[in-house]
Amino acid sequence: MFKKILVTSIILGVVPSMQALADDSPLAVFNGGIGVLGATSGSIRGVVPAGAIWAIDSLSAKVRTNGRINVTGTGLIFGSGNNAGRSTLNFVAATFICENSNTAAQFSTPARTVTLSLTGDFKIDDVLSPPPPLDCASPMLLIRNGGSATNPALGGWFAVGILDPLTGSRGDKDED
């Protein structure tokens, strides 16, 4: 009898979790982006800026409750220096953060999988690892240096997404 109750309790605890993973409703939506203003831009939630000035024409992203992320960016290019107006064919990755803290957990797409085009365009269609929590009090999206052959780790941020408060975002939503 005790084993039946234990098994039933375990199954009932797992089923809601599996349903949450299968759910693909929006957790956060971002429309627009802001590029790095140089090393003086400062860290965002513990992630350092990419170091140079970067501009971005447009950014749209949707993070879903099952961890799937879709990001489309255009015109992610240098904003100054000898390469101004150009991309350097860097790899990019997305990092989603739910807490307003420099030590907050980071949920990222894999490094070295998405390359910027010559004009700074990119698309990310992947799954965040690990999956973000369903309770995301302060959603933040960073487009980061996706690493290189010599340093495959994710680097500094190039652009930050602008949260769309009028969507189904579960955090930072304007209440009327």
- The pLDDT > 70 percentage for the chain reads 82
- Residue boundaries of the structural domains of the chain: 25-163
Question: Is residue 152's pLDDT more than 90?
Answer: no
- Residue 110 confidence (pLDDT): 93
Please name every residue paired with 160 in a beta bridge, in sequence order, or none if there are none: 34, 142
Task: Tell me the pLDDT tens digit for each residue of 74-113.
Answer: 999 999 989 899 998 789 999 999 999 999 999 999 999 9
Q: Is the distance from CB of 72 to CB of 116 less than 8 angstroms?
A: no
pTM: 0.81
Task: Please give the average per-residue pLDDT across 54-59, as a whole number.
Answer: 97
